[in-house]
A and B are shown apart, each in its own frame.
Chain A
Amino acid sequence: GQQLNQSPQSMFIQEGEDVSMNCTSSSIFNTWLWYKQDPGEGPVLLIALYKAGELTSNGRLTAQFGITRKDSFLNISASIPSDVGIYFCAGQLGGYGGSQGNLIFGKGTKLSVKP
């Protein structure tokens, strides 16, 4: 089946640092979504991208839809302790009018505070 390769799997952050993570695939996607999940909670939508090359910000978060439509990245600037959690990318095949079954999730990037 379709797969998304999300990296890194985990990373440690120090307050104030910038963070980058990305998702790649061999498939072409029409939508890219980024979610964050805190322990014991469901994923929360952070950013949605609908066009190749699109760059969208949400506060300290910036995400881009890759030109090839096979990748996306998420940057977090000036990280703070509440940024810890698991970040998921999700790519949707089939475009608008498709199905949620066409939404493929990455395995997640776990952000932890540097000891």
Chain B
Amino acid sequence: AQKITQTQPGMFVQEKEAVTLDCTYDTSDQSYGLFWYKQPSSGEMIFLIYQGSYDEQNATEGRYSLNFQKARKSANLVISASQLGDSAMYFCAMREARSGGSNYKLTFGKGTLLTVNP
């Protein structure tokens, strides 16, 4: 089973509108971190936002917010007031804190390609 599922291969949004990118995850750990990265066509993976599993409040970082629903195992990224420069690939990732196994690994989803239209 996939650990990180991003069901939207591609999304379109009008400039200045908000958009939600979906991410669901699968883990049996109680302690884990969830991350979102942006990858423009240039290739660099840019860190956007993270959420710890014990954080009670949803993370926010400027125009980015993470809609964390622990019971549903979802960690959707919300981008408000989209800009043309937001057009990129967006990846959801998870780091688990299990003992006895790899706790360095970030597991990535397959990504969602966001296109912002003028």
A-B complex is real = no
Residue positions of B touching A, CB distance < 8 A: none
Residue positions of A touching B, CB distance < 8 A: none
